[in-house]
Amino acid sequence: MAEGAKWYVAHTYSGYENAVKTAIEKFVANRHLEDMILDIRIPMETVTEITESGESKQVERKVFPGYVLVKMIMTDDTWHLIRNIRGVTGFVGTANTAIPLTEEEVLNLGMEKHEVVVLYNVGDQVKITDGPFATFIGTVDEIDAEKNKVRVILSMFGRETPVELELDQVEVVDR
């Protein structure tokens, strides 16, 4: 049933984000709704602030104050549960319809990462499958799985040229 879950944005009173998240987690645990409401997040960023004395300190700051992201299967029951929590003013959407985030928005927020299985290694011959260098064949020079990047050396105009691509933009050349 969890396949139908999408990310929704609940609007809260400013400063109530943590209380809303905690309240949702309690409702989920008490009512055994773990299969309907899968994840609750408050996007945070780490910022370096310079104090008046010139010292720098790391501070956690909310990326979207007044909003809580909830991955859930939207039903009348789950809508009412979230909507009736103290501090929640509604969902982002139209009137009584919550609009889920698109896959691209979720990825841009860093809420979910899609794992790419890399079937090639440094030194392998690969074919580029996407982008301006599609159909070019080159040699894998470096793989950075954390950043989802691969550097491929292409031969262009008699020179070796490094090109940085995403991991899923290349495939192993059949030998």
CATH fold of 125-172, please?
Answer: SH3 type barrels. (2.30.30)
Cβ 167 vs Cβ 148: under 8 Å: yes
Using one digit for the tens of pLDDT, what is the confidence trace for 135-174? 999 999 999 877 778 999 999 888 999 999 988 888 888 7
**Beta strands 67-72 and 37-41, pairing class:** antiparallel
Nearest to 82 by CA among 9, 141, 144, 134: 9
pTM above 0.85, yes or no: no
Reading the block at residue 153, the tokens are 């050396």
* Helix, strand or coil, per DSSP, at residue 54: coil
The second-level CATH assignment, the architecture, of 2-109 is 2-Layer Sandwich (3.30)
Share of the chain above pLDDT 90, in %: 44
Residues of the chain with CATH 3.30.70.940: 2-109
Q: What is the DSSP track for 96-145? A: TEEPPPPHHHHHHHTS----------TT-EEEE-SSTTTT-EEEEEEEET
Residues of the chain with CATH 2.30.30.30: 125-172
Contacts of 103 (CB under 8 A, 6+ apart): none
Burial of 146 (0-12, 13-18, 19+ CB in 10 A): exposed
Using one digit for the tens of pLDDT, what is the confidence trace for 54-112? 777 888 888 889 999 999 999 989 999 999 999 999 999 887 788 998 878 877 776 66
Distance from C-alpha of 112 to C-alpha of 6, rounded to nearest angstrom: 11
